């Protein structure tokens, strides 16, 4: 059975069809080829011909031309569309004419950079020119670093290394910075939130150092399909951007199936588990011999699914060795072997985390199955892009879980047909982040009085650091005055400067099983809490607050704990407010959120009986961040239906759904934001819902929400309306047990009165 026959077969399988909510077919698209640009170096043309490339895709040529004009560009392309060549062409053109020139390639992960080095080196081998491409990361041996610094034409690295290893030692990289022509930023959609905000500041530092040595590099960015690629690129590099989003790569017919597992518990709105559904689907596909990638959302899931699918293989008399797992934590050698096995066909099924989502070369497979919505449309497209050899048919199956966002997506597949609504947000002027990079920058080069690092506030920040004796101002310049190395104190990826590590003391080696940000720790891992990690229960023996460590051991308990946390939200400043229709007032401002966990309840599984209580003694924590809030006018609630408790349940229901749907519009993890409903808010004296960024100083998320709130609220309304449950379920307004009996009806009534339908 080939893939087309399999598709027919699935189409006729009524058992399977029952669960398919939508079967989208994207027609094949022929490639849009163009000739090489006239001025492309003949050596490059010859090398490309040797590689079997005699024409370019339209976007490759356009990128080349725009870069030649001196423009900063962002190329938006799906996976496997010859993106690498898009930026290699202008870079190699420059290196062939001017061998002194230099370029930096920046990739979000180490694994990706290795692949790109191979690709560039392959091009060099065809060119037969002395152009050196080196990876510079934590694994680079010390004895070759010197060579890379002076002789590497293309330095391939990651943001962390640039931040800690290169910029603070720029005098060692004088050759690079004096001749820096191009900076390639690949996969910029992954630079969002905290990571992106840090990177934007690292770029500020990079540009500053380059300017010191007299160079002004041009940026070539690439991104997956998101709503705001230019805006994101502009935020990252602070330059005017030329957008290239007309893709010329060919595509075969793509079948995109939305699979919703059957409901098993109507009352709770629970559906059959994703893992067992995927097993059933794989069983249908594996006998066809189609090569298949299964994306799971956690490392643990990868292991479970791999085990299951190996059993399936055995039952089908397929060698279980043809089924492999792939995730971070595997040894590089092992991973290379799996990538190779996928390319040469010796591996039929790979179960992976999103580690294989980004450009690692594994060739193209036939079928991509997502065990649960990967959290963003952009990711879903990238995962789906792993299936589909050019020109031939491919199949993608998205199997959704019961989570609200999964359920929303499965009922609104149009997001895949039409424009992706997701925006990637960063806040490069987030004060704590900005401040830490200002310090790094001052260490790298003294600031002058006129210099602008971040617009408007640079002088104030520098003066603050002078007052703190971190900088010294003398003769109109600001000098670093500490005996530490500031880049060591700043990690680009951590959401908080500090976190609590969770240590399994039952394990002989006291294994670290996870970490949790400081703000959430008191709730999740207070002493005597039951902490659930990857479905395993742990009892927290001690939370050592001073050392930031939680010691746990595995238990099999019949209760879970629910922390009682007092959240105190104070409005500090109102920055923007508008009156919406029907008296709904929305405000954007700064808030202080203080949280203290004082006690916890022990709640029995299944029966939800309260079987005990305990005290927690932990210090209060405060963050100052940005927030958006809506005040609901009193006249909305004249209907006697709206008893105060009912209003509360309704707001809670809206908050629950809203919280889960925000990531559809603003790319983030749901743990990056907090949504708090208040029946009688002490500040507004009205029923109010607050949404704040769970990050010191804010991350631009609630700010964006302020701009697009009607679209999001309207999605919330549609979602709750179309959900099949009666009184609310985990997929819409939250479980009845938490949300109360009126959660759904009250939420809907409130939303309906807001007249949200825009178009």
Please say which residue, 170 or 204, places its beta carbon nearer to other proteins: 170
Q: How many CA atoms lie within 13 A of 209 on its CB side?
A: 28
482-521 footprint of other proteins as x/- string (CB under 8 A): xxxxxxx---------------------------------
| Distance in angstroms (rounded) separating the CA atoms of residues 724 and 728 | 9
Please say which residue, 471 or 725, places its beta carbon nearer to other proteins: 471
Please say which residue, 470 or 525, places its beta carbon nearer to other proteins: 470
735 part of the interface to other proteins, by CB under 8 A: no
Which of 98, 315, 474, 645: binder of other proteins (CB under 8 A)? 474
Which segments within 27-121 are labelled E, that is strand?
Answer: 33-34, 56-57, 72-76, 102-106
The two three-digit tokens of residue 421, written as one number:
């609504």
Applying CB under 8 A, the span of 101-109, 225-233, 441-449, 548-556 interacting with other proteins comes to 441-449
Tokens 């001052």 sit on residue: 442
Please say which residue, 317 or 469, places its beta carbon nearer to other proteins: 469
Which of 59, 153, 163, 170: binder of other proteins (CB under 8 A)? 170
446 part of the interface to other proteins, by CB under 8 A: yes
Which of 174, 264, 512, 572: binder of other proteins (CB under 8 A)? 174
Q: How far is the CB of 483 from other proteins (least distance, A)?
A: 4
Please say which residue, 7 or 445, places its beta carbon nearer to other proteins: 445
| Distance in angstroms (rounded) separating the CA atoms of residues 340 and 267 | 47
Please say which residue, 466 or 599, places its beta carbon nearer to other proteins: 466
Applying CB under 8 A, the span of 19-27, 94-102, 328-336, 443-451 interacting with other proteins comes to 443-451
Q: How far is the CB of 468 from other proteins (least distance, A)?
A: 12
Are residues 379 and 372 in contact, defined by beta-carbon separation less than 8 angstroms?
A: no
Applying CB under 8 A, the span of 103-111, 165-173, 557-565, 639-647 interacting with other proteins comes to 165-173
Indicate the helix (H) or strand (E) that contains 462: helix 458-467
Please say which residue, 172 or 603, places its beta carbon nearer to other proteins: 172
443 part of the interface to other proteins, by CB under 8 A: yes
Please say which residue, 17 or 171, places its beta carbon nearer to other proteins: 171
**Where does residue 436 rank: exposed (0-12), middle (13-18), buried (19+ CB within 10 A)?**
buried
**Where does residue 622 rank: exposed (0-12), middle (13-18), buried (19+ CB within 10 A)?**
middle
163 part of the interface to other proteins, by CB under 8 A: no
CA distances from 72 to 81, 179, 204, 226, 240 (A): 20, 17, 15, 18, 7
Applying CB under 8 A, the span of 187-195, 474-482, 573-581, 654-662 interacting with other proteins comes to 474-482
Which of 23, 33, 479, 560: binder of other proteins (CB under 8 A)? 479
Which of 469, 535, 635, 639: binder of other proteins (CB under 8 A)? 469
Q: How far is the CB of 178 from other proteins (least distance, A)?
A: 10
Please say which residue, 72 or 437, places its beta carbon nearer to other proteins: 437
Please say which residue, 74 or 487, places its beta carbon nearer to other proteins: 487
Applying CB under 8 A, the span of 182-190, 479-487, 557-565, 658-666 interacting with other proteins comes to 479-487
| Distance in angstroms (rounded) separating the CA atoms of residues 517 and 525 | 11
The conformation of residue 54, written as its DSSP 8-state character, comes to -
Please say which residue, 27 or 450, places its beta carbon nearer to other proteins: 450
Angle between helix 110-127 and helix 83-97 axes, rounded to 10 deg: 50
CB contact set of 54 (below 8 Å; sequence gap of 6+): 48
Pairing mode of beta strands 511-517, 499-504: antiparallel
Which of 395, 445, 540, 627: binder of other proteins (CB under 8 A)? 445
102 part of the interface to other proteins, by CB under 8 A: no
Q: How far is the CB of 194 from other proteins (least distance, A)?
A: 24
Is residue 576 helix, strand or coil?
Answer: strand
Q: How far is the CB of 162 from other proteins (least distance, A)?
A: 14
Applying CB under 8 A, the span of 112-120, 164-172, 242-250, 256-264 interacting with other proteins comes to 164-172
Q: How far is the CB of 336 from other proteins (least distance, A)?
A: 30
Q: How far is the CB of 467 from other proteins (least distance, A)?
A: 12
Q: How far is the CB of 478 from other proteins (least distance, A)?
A: 9
Q: For the chain, what percentages of helix, strand and coil (3-state, to nearest 5) are there?
A: 40, 25, 35
Are residues 195 and 232 in contact, defined by beta-carbon separation less than 8 angstroms?
A: no
Please say which residue, 442 or 715, places its beta carbon nearer to other proteins: 442
Show the DSSP H helices in 671-741 as ranges: 701-722, 736-739
| Distance in angstroms (rounded) separating the CA atoms of residues 554 and 416 | 42
Q: What are the beta bridge partners of residue 265?
A: 270
Q: How far is the CB of 759 from other proteins (least distance, A)?
A: 53
Please say which residue, 249 or 441, places its beta carbon nearer to other proteins: 441
CB contact set of 276 (below 8 Å; sequence gap of 6+): none
Applying CB under 8 A, the span of 48-56, 169-177, 413-421, 633-641 interacting with other proteins comes to 169-177
Q: How far is the CB of 443 from other proteins (least distance, A)?
A: 3
330 part of the interface to other proteins, by CB under 8 A: no
The two three-digit tokens of residue 402, written as one number:
């019961």
CA distances from 452 to 53, 57, 163, 445, 447 (A): 45, 40, 19, 13, 9
Q: How far is the CB of 425 from other proteins (least distance, A)?
A: 32
Cα–Cα nearest to 529, from 496, 510, 553: 553
168 part of the interface to other proteins, by CB under 8 A: yes
The conformation of residue 679, written as its DSSP 8-state character, comes to S
391 part of the interface to other proteins, by CB under 8 A: no
453 part of the interface to other proteins, by CB under 8 A: no
Which of 126, 343, 472, 604: binder of other proteins (CB under 8 A)? 472
150 part of the interface to other proteins, by CB under 8 A: no
The conformation of residue 330, written as its DSSP 8-state character, comes to B
- Count interface residues toward other proteins (CB under 8 A): 26
444 part of the interface to other proteins, by CB under 8 A: yes
Please say which residue, 172 or 513, places its beta carbon nearer to other proteins: 172
Q: How far is the CB of 176 from other proteins (least distance, A)?
A: 13
Please report the sign of the dihedral spanned by the C-alpha atoms of residue 276, residue 278, residue 284, residue 285. negative
Backbone angles phi, psi at 114, to 5 degrees: -60, -40
CB contact set of 418 (below 8 Å; sequence gap of 6+): none
Q: What are the beta bridge partners of residue 305?
A: none
Are residues 326 and 380 in contact, defined by beta-carbon separation less than 8 angstroms?
A: no
| Distance in angstroms (rounded) separating the CA atoms of residues 680 and 608 | 28
Cα–Cα nearest to 167, from 175, 177, 153, 182: 177
Q: How far is the CB of 484 from other proteins (least distance, A)?
A: 7
592 part of the interface to other proteins, by CB under 8 A: no
Please say which residue, 175 or 549, places its beta carbon nearer to other proteins: 175
Residues present in the chain in total: 759
Please say which residue, 488 or 544, places its beta carbon nearer to other proteins: 488
Cα–Cα nearest to 348, from 319, 371, 383: 319
211 part of the interface to other proteins, by CB under 8 A: no
| Distance in angstroms (rounded) separating the CA atoms of residues 418 and 320 | 40
Which of 442, 627, 689, 736: binder of other proteins (CB under 8 A)? 442
Binding site for other proteins (CB under 8 A): 168-172, 174, 442-446, 469, 472, 474-475, 477, 479-488
């Amino acid at each position: 059975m080939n893939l087309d026959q399999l598709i027919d077969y699935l189409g006729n399988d009524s058992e399977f069809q029952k669960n398919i909510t939508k079967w989208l077919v994207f027609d094949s698209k022929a490639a849009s080829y163009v000739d090489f640009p006239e001025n492309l170096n003949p050596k490059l043309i010859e090398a490309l011909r040797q590689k079997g490339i005699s024409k370019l895709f339209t976007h490759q040529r356009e990128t080349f031309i725009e870069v030649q004009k001196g423009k900063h560009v962002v190329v938006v392309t799906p996976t496997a569309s010859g993106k690498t060549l898009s930026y290699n062409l202008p870079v190699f053109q420059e290196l062939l004419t001017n061998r002194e020139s230099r370029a930096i390639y920046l990739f979000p992960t180490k694994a990706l950079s290795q692949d790109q080095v191979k690709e560039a080196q392959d091009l060099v081998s065809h060119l037969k020119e002395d152009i050196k491409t080196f990876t510079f990361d934590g694994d680079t041996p010390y004895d070759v670093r010197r060579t890379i610094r002076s002789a590497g034409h293309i330095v391939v690295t990651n943001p962390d290394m640039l931040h800690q290893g290169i910029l603070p030692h720029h005098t060692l990289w004088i050759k690079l910075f004096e001749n820096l022509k191009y900076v390639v930023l690949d996969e910029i959609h992954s630079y969002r939130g905290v990571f992106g905000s840090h990177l934007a500041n690292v770029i500020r530092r990079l540009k500053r150092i380059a300017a010191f040595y007299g160079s002004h590099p041009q940026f070539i960015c690439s991104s997956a399909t998101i709503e705001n690629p230019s805006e994101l690129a502009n935020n990252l590099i602070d330059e005017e951007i030329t957008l290239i989003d007309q893709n010329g790569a060919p595509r075969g017919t793509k079948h995109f199936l939305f699979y919703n597992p059957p409901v098993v518990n109507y009352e709770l709105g629970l559906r059959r588990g994703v893992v067992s559904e995927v097993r059933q689907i794989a069983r249908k596909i594996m006998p066809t011999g189609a090569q298949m990638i299964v994306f799971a959302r956690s490392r643990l899931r990868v292991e479970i699914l791999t085990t299951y699918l190996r059993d399936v293989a055995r039952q089908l008399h397929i060698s279980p060795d043809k089924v492999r797992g792939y995730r971070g934590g595997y040894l590089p050698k092992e991973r290379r072997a799996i990538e190779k096995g996928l390319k040469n066909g010796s591996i039929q099924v790979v179960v992976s985390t999103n580690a294989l989502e980004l450009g690692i070369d594994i060739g193209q497979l036939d079928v991509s199955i997502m065990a649960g919505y990967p959290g963003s449309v952009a990711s879903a497209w990238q995962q789906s892009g792993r299936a589909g050899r050019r020109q031939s048919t491919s199949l993608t199956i998205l199997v959704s879980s019961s989570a609200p966002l999964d359920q929303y997506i499965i009922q609104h597949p149009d997001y895949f047909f039409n424009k992706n609504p997701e925006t990637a947000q960063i806040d490069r002027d987030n004060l704590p982040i900005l401040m830490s990079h200002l310090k790094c920058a001052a260490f790298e080069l003294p600031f002058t009085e006129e210099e602008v690092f971040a617009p408007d506030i640079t002088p104030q920040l520098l003066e603050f650091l002078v007052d703190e004796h971190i900088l010294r101002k003398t003769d109109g310049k600001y000098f670093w005055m500490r005996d530490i190395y500031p880049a060591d104190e700043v990690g680009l990826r951590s959401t908080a400067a500090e976190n609590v590590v969770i240590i399994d003391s039952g394990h002989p080696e006291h294994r670290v099983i996870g970490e949790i940000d400081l703000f959430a720790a008191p709730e999740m891992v207070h002493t005597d809490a039951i902490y659930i990690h990857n479905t395993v229960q742990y009892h927290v023996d001690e939370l050592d607050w001073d050392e930031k460590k939680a010691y746990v051991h595995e238990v099999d308990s019949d209760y879970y704990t629910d922390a009682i946390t007092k959240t105190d939200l104070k409005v500090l400043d109102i920055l923007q407010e508008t009156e919406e229709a029907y008296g709904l007032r929305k405000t954007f401002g700064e808030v202080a959120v203080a949280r203290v966990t004082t006690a916890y309840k022990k709640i029995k599984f299944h029966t939800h009986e309260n079987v005990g209580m305990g005290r927690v003694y932990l210090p209060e924590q405060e963050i100052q961040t940005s927030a958006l809030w809506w005040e609901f006018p009193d006249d909305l609630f004249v209907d006697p239906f709206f008893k105060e408790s009912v209003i509360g349940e309704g707001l809670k229901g809206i908050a629950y759904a809203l919280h889960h749907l925000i990531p559809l519009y603003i790319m983030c993890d749901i743990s990056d934001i907090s949504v708090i409903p208040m029946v009688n808010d002490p500040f507004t004296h009205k029923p109010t819902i607050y949404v704040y960024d769970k990050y010191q100083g804010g991350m631009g998320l609630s700010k964006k929400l302020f701009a697009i709130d009607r679209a999001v609220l309207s999605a919330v309304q549609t979602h709750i309306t179309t959900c099949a449950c009666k009184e609310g379920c985990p997929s819409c307004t939250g479980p009845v047990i938490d949300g109360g009996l009126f959660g759904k009806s009250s939420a809907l009534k409130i939303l309906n009165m807001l007249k949200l339908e825009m178009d």
